[in-house]
Chain A
Amino acid sequence: MSQIPEKSKVSAAKVNQDLPNELTIPVERQLTEPYLQIENVNKVFGEFVALKDIYLNVYPGEFVCLLGPSGCGKTTLLRIICGLETQTSGRIMQGGKDVSQLPPQKRDFGIVFQSYALFPNLTAEQNIAYGLENAKKPKAEIRQRVTELLELVGLEGLGKKYPSQMSGGQQQRVALARALALSPGLLLLDEPLSALDAKVRDKLRGEITKVQRRLGITTVMVTHDQSEALAMADRVVVMDKGYIAQVGTANSIYQYPQSPFVANFIGVMNFLEGVIIAEKQIRCGNLTFNVPQNQLSVNQRAKLAIRPEDIQVVFEQTNNKTENTLTAQVEDIEFLGSVYRLTLNPEGDAKESLIVEINTHQARQLDLNNLQSLNIYFPPEQVKVF
């Protein structure tokens, strides 16, 4: 580790500084050596810095999601992991071996692409057997393995079909079976569900994780869909503009976002601009809020952040305003099925509108049709400042 520049060591460490350790890496995994280690990886395309000082450990059997908006470098990182691209500098260790300079053929991974990349002139079986045949495995063994894999992905009896005769979901399963055929140490999924429609996507989400758990295969998935990442991954790596913004379990990232970017990218977040006026107080316009302990200094400009579901509606029509409570005009009401999403304009100087989610039960109490304004409360323990 001595060669790692001091600066990046800090940035790597800083990412998870305030978090309880168990929220970032599941306990049992802290005891083992990582299977995949990405160390100080940089990638530069001409002038453009695609990846900057990337450090990441992936533990055996872990399902890690690289999540971020398009252009954040997540796909580039995946392609570097498997050797389809070569990093400008830095090291990739897989299974304790430095694979940085190996071409993809010499590495140990299976991959599923968004386009499936199934060979259209070969049947599902032939696609799955493609790598096995090249490895000159005996015919009987290949046949058995293909049957096994078809069963694993739930495509029994469909082996003789051509990709064009199958639905998108079925093609994706064939691609998964093909990626698993050679029993690789590492499974890579590049936006595997993006080309499918919503219903199929939800179903396959569950099935992919089931297969992954069953085989215990170390998996790295790239996605831009936060709900997909939160639902499937053991740990989520949020990326932005070529760097890692935050690493942690779905829960820790949602509950303890480390930056406005992460807060806004994962789920919905309300922001109010303000100034820190005391150790645990922020003033936004003419409103003052109590907030948790933070490292920001007094008089510093800051942002108050709170999730829509954390804002509470105050039902008692009391005139004496308590702390962290404000009155807001209702601008818009959106019905989303199980919840209502209200857009509110807070009274006072704050220019930002707020989004609040209330459940149907609360909505019934509120008489939404004639709702003009309402009082809302920001529980201090749910408020974050950046």
Chain B
Amino acid sequence: MTVTSNRSPISSGKIKPITTSEDWIMRGLLLLGTLWLFVGVVFPLYPMLIRSFYDSNGSWVGLSNYVKYINTPSLSVSFFNSFYIAIVSTIIAVSLALIFSYALTRTAMVGKPWFKILGMLPIYIPPIATAIGLIYLFGNKGLVTTGAFGRLPTWDINLYGANGIILGEVLYVFPQALVILTTALSLTDARLYEAAQALRTSPMRTFLTITIPSVKYGLISAMFVCFILAFTDFGVPKVVGGDFNVLATDIYKQVIGQQNFSMGATISVFLLIPTVFAFVIDRIIQRKQTALVTAKAVPLQPKSNPMLDGIMFAFCSLIVGLILIVFATIILASLVQVWPYNFQLGFKHYNFNNVAGGGYNAYWNSIVMSLYTALLGTIIVFIGAYLVEKGKGLKWLRSLNYFLSTVPLALPGLVLGLAYVFFFNNPSNPLNGLYGTLGILVICNIIHFYTVCFLTASTGLKQIDPEFEAVSASMAVPFYKTFWLVTVPLCLPILLEIGIYYFVNTMVTISAIIFLYPAHIPLAAVAIINMDDAGDIAPAAAMSTLIVLTSMGIRAIYWWGTKGLRKRNQAWLKRS
């Protein structure tokens, strides 16, 4: 053969590709992303944990805060109360959501599109607003309690306490479970059911052996998500909790009421541990999940079954009816002049001049904060997910990035907010300048809702052909050009979806920012708390209505504005 020539010998060592400027850009961005997650997630937790070992005067007291907490019955009882509330709400909400989503995906019930939209309605209602709605329905002077002021039989459900909290939490977490379960139920292969039919399997056995196993992971996920949300929620127990204390309200009372930050930090740890536990267990279980549905799966077309369809229709109407009644009550309460004496309607309560909370200034601040969060959050999350999914090299750093991006899901808003106070309010922190600005509120919100957005972006990016980067490299096109010319346009619907998610959640959130917002930046959702505290419940209902309508308005604008875009994208993604 003609191989030999005067070339250098082959080195026997390990081959390492040379590092290009592109690699350096990639590495730099990845490092920056990691730094961001450390500052946003990891560093703030440290001073908070440390604080729980100090007393209010700043002296080291070891575990005595914890001992004191456990030995004070009025405090430690909240721990069990929180568990009780979270478990009961989770069981109720997930059961209802499972039936609801089954009706949406597997029956030929009429009105499915409407049920789908209305079932998701509570997403736009801050939990605290739901609680206010419940007061006007089931409170002492509520419509139901008084039997519509004597016109109907009365029914007192003893709202203030566990009943009210559970009812509020169920409404709050129901749509979250619904999203997860609807997705799980719609990912199926009709051929499995056809095979079962061909083997003459009874409907019950089919349900138990095909349907349930296929949604098992979705069901588990839904339960953990609902548990975490109900366990850590602050808005509902704050308004309808009465004497029934839970961890979240305890933290608030310690920090805002008694200025006892050390005990606040201690209780935060009690709130954090079960949440992290639930998060870790869920992660471990989800890791076992393997794809049951391949790209070749045939979508299931539900067949009509008048009896089942009828029952399901009645069930869904009942759920949606309850949601609509609560929603309508909030609006009604905001319009009624003097509940329950003067039922004339008017916009009196929308004039926030004589009440606490900051009025339209707060409303406007919330919109600005939500817009910034949506814009910056979407950019940061998407670039972060891109680097993790499509980056090459530095595998350990990308894994670390992925892990840190999922951690915020395990951090209750109150804990995160309190941690930010401890971390950023420290004068020796170079980022101290951010404290008390809109900037820190935006950062806190971006991190608070980071995980869901990150996972959405990752899922979207995974669907993009992994060879795009390889093809670009073969044409000597740097990755950032392909990112901008191909990846971003393809992911535009996902980007907008993430933006909306950020906007809506930032509009309604209270827990993460209640300790963090400075006096000169009042916020709408916080204003509801302040008005409720001051007894101005009708203006609180008015502010709730504004928030809900704004979120829904943004969603509607998005829907209409992106019609053409979605159509075009469908055409792109369609495979012959």
Contact = CB atoms under 8 A, between A and B. Distances in A.
Interface in A1-56: 1-4, 25, 30-34, 37, 39-40
A222 B14 CA distance: 26
Contacts of A86: 15-17
Contact of A89 (B13, B17, B478, B485): B13
A84 B470 contact: yes
A25 to B, nearest CB: 8
A120 B572 contact: yes
Interface stretch (A161-169, A274-282, A365-373): A161-169
Determine which residue in A1, A89, A103, A106 has the highest number of CB atoms from chain B within 10 A of its CB, and name it. A103
A111 B470 contact: yes
B470 A40 contact: no
A226 interface: no
Given A33-B2, A37-B3, A57-B1, A119 B574 contact: no
Tell me the dominant secondary structure on chain B's binding face: loop
A109 interface: yes
Interface stretch (A60-68, A128-136, A237-245, A262-270): A128-136
B5 interface: yes
Interface string A95-127: 000101111111101110101010111100000
A162 B571 contact: yes
Interface string B15-26: 111101011000
A48 B18 CA distance: 25
B28 to A, nearest CB: 17
A30 B3 CA distance: 10
Contacts of A257: none
Contacts of B213: none
Contacts, number: 131
B475 A134 contact: yes
Interface string A163-199: 1111110010000001101101000000000000000
A104 B473 contact: yes
B3 A34 contact: yes
Nearest to B472: A130
Given A89-B14, A101-B15, A130 B474 contact: no
A243 B478 CA distance: 34
B477 A88 contact: no
Interface string B371-390: 00000000000000000000
B476 interface: yes
Contacts of A122: 485-486
Given A2-B9, A121-B490, A111 B471 contact: yes
B10 interface: yes
A83 interface: yes
Contacts of A30: 1-2
A90 interface: yes
B465 interface: yes
B474 A110 contact: yes
A87 interface: yes
Contacts of A39: 10
Contact of A135 (B3, B4, B476): B476
Contacts of B486: 119, 121-122
B465 A117 contact: yes
B422 interface: no
B468 interface: yes
A322 to B, nearest CB: 44
A298 to B, nearest CB: 34
B478 A105 contact: yes
B9 A164 contact: no
Nearest to A104: B473
Interface in B16-69: 16-18, 20, 22-23
A303 interface: no
Contact of B470 (A25, A98, A104): A104
Given A100-B15, A120-B572, A162-B572, A1 B467 contact: no
A291 interface: no
Given A1-B3, A34-B3, A164-B572, A109 B474 contact: yes
Interface string B473-502: 111111001000110011000000000000
B20 to A, nearest CB: 5
A128 B225 CA distance: 46
B15 A89 contact: yes
A109 B473 CA distance: 10
Contacts of B8: 98
Nearest to A55: B3
B573 interface: yes
Interface residues of B, number: 43
B576 interface: yes
B287 interface: no
B8 to A, nearest CB: 8
Contact of A111 (B2, B22, B474, B576): B474
Interface string B526-548: 00000000000000000000000
Given A33-B5, A89-B12, A120-B573, A102 B18 contact: yes
Nearest to A127: B471
A246 B373 CA distance: 61
B348 to A, nearest CB: 52
A82 interface: yes
B576 to A, nearest CB: 6
Interface in A219-263: none
A307 interface: no
B468 to A, nearest CB: 6
A74 interface: no
Nearest to A86: B17
B470 A88 contact: no
Contact of B476 (A37, A91, A105, A163): A105
Interface in B439-477: 465, 467-468, 470-477
B12 A3 contact: yes
B23 A103 contact: yes
B18 to A, nearest CB: 5
Contacts of A178: 471, 475
Contacts of B571: 162, 164-165
Contacts of A163: 572
A84 B3 CA distance: 25
Contact of A121 (B4, B472, B489): B489
Contacts of A166: 576
Given A105-B22, A117-B468, A88 B14 contact: yes
A73 to B, nearest CB: 16
Interface string A276-314: 000000000000000000000000000000000000000
A121 B487 CA distance: 9
B226 to A, nearest CB: 37
Determine which residue in A91, A102, A119 has the highest number of CB atoms from chain B within 10 A of its CB, and name it. A119
Given A104-B473, A104-B474, A121 B572 contact: yes
B449 to A, nearest CB: 28
A134 B476 contact: yes
B489 A91 contact: no
Nearest to A182: B475
A181 B236 CA distance: 63
Contacts of B473: 83-84, 103-105
The 3 closest A-B CB pairs, nearest first, are A131-B475, A117-B467, A104-B473
Interface of A: 1-4, 25, 30-34, 37, 39-40, 57, 82-84, 86-91, 93, 98, 100-107, 109-111, 113, 115, 117, 119-122, 130-131, 134-135, 162-168, 171, 178-179, 181-182, 184
Given A106-B20, A115-B465, A119-B468, 12 more contacts: A83-B473, A88-B14, A89-B14, A89-B15, A111-B471, A117-B465, A117-B470, A119-B486, A120-B490, A122-B486, A164-B574, A166-B576
21 contacts: A2-B9, A32-B2, A33-B2, A33-B5, A34-B2, A57-B1, A89-B12, A91-B10, A98-B8, A103-B18, A104-B470, A105-B22, A105-B473, A105-B478, A111-B471, A113-B467, A113-B471, A121-B489, A164-B575, A171-B576, A178-B475
Interface of B: 1-5, 7-18, 20, 22-23, 465, 467-468, 470-478, 481, 485-486, 489-490, 571-576
